[in-house]
Amino acid sequence: MSREPVAQLCDIVKTYGSGPTRVQALDHLSLTVHRGDYLAMMGSSGSGKSTAMNILGCLDRPSSGSYRLNGTPVQDLDDDQLADLRNQDLGFVFQQFHLLPQLSALENVMLPMVYAGVPRQERRRRAVAALSRVGLADRLDNRPNQLSGGQQQRVALARAIINRPVLLLADEPTGALDSATTREVLDLFDELHAQGMTILMVTHEHDVAARAERVLHFRDGRISEQERRPALPTQAPPQN
């Protein structure tokens, strides 16, 4: 059974500059992300993976080609409509956590719902549930400087999923974390994926990418290779 497409890039070209300084960051890229996918994008600097992530996240516009997010033709939207789409349909997790230092963990997680017009009581209820989901029920009132790096990334992850996005975009989400904390955060990604979350992650770390179902290798603005995570062996039935 085919799964519903969440994000569809079709023949995307992205160029910067003009004349002798013109750079083609994406070269007729096409990519479909289906509901429930867990994808990782890898590639050297300048390969196009970050540009692709920015276009998928509605943070940049292609020079040509089309993009549909959850059925919406993104290229037809103005800046205000794009901002609404980002807030409603996308969740973002970055290497630098981008938490507001003057706000508590709870207030940081509630913030996207303010822009979405969610009533205050409902905002608090959902934010408490999201922070509990990432293991921070006892840190609601802590500000970012009172939290470890791993805890800050958990707050950022709770904030990213609070509006129930159709696509979670993670840009080097473990780049600022030690190995033990990296495993803890990736375990959370695994849990979210098991619960049906669609995840697309940029990383330069092979062990991080190995958590994904499929790895997309970028080169010269295109996907040069795809590899799938080997399926787990099927356990043999017990012998009578």
Over residues 40-50, the mean pLDDT reads: 93
CATH number of domain containing 210:
3.40.50.300
Least confident of 52-56, 72-76, 115-119: 115-119
| Structural domain containing residue 170 | 36-63+78-228
pLDDT at 2 (0 to 100): 55
Q: How many domains does the chain have?
A: 1
Domain assignment present for 120: yes
| 133 Cβ contact list (under 8 Å, min separation 6) | 158, 161
144-197: pLDDT as tens digits? 999 999 999 999 999 999 989 999 999 999 988 889 989 999 999 999 999 999
Q: Which comes out higher in pLDDT, residue 57 or 226? A: 57
Domain assignment present for 240: no
CA 65 from chain center: how many Å? Answer: 22
The DSSP letter of residue 142 is: -
Of the candidates 158, 151, 202, the residue with the CA atom closest to the CA atom of residue 41: 202
Domain assignment present for 140: yes
Domain assignment present for 123: yes
Contact between residue 137 and residue 128 where contact means Cβ atoms under 8 Å apart: yes
Domain assignment present for 163: yes
Over residues 53-65, the mean pLDDT reads: 94
pLDDT at 221 (0 to 100): 94
Domain assignment present for 118: yes
Domain assignment present for 239: no
Domain assignment present for 55: yes
Over residues 110-135, the mean pLDDT reads: 91
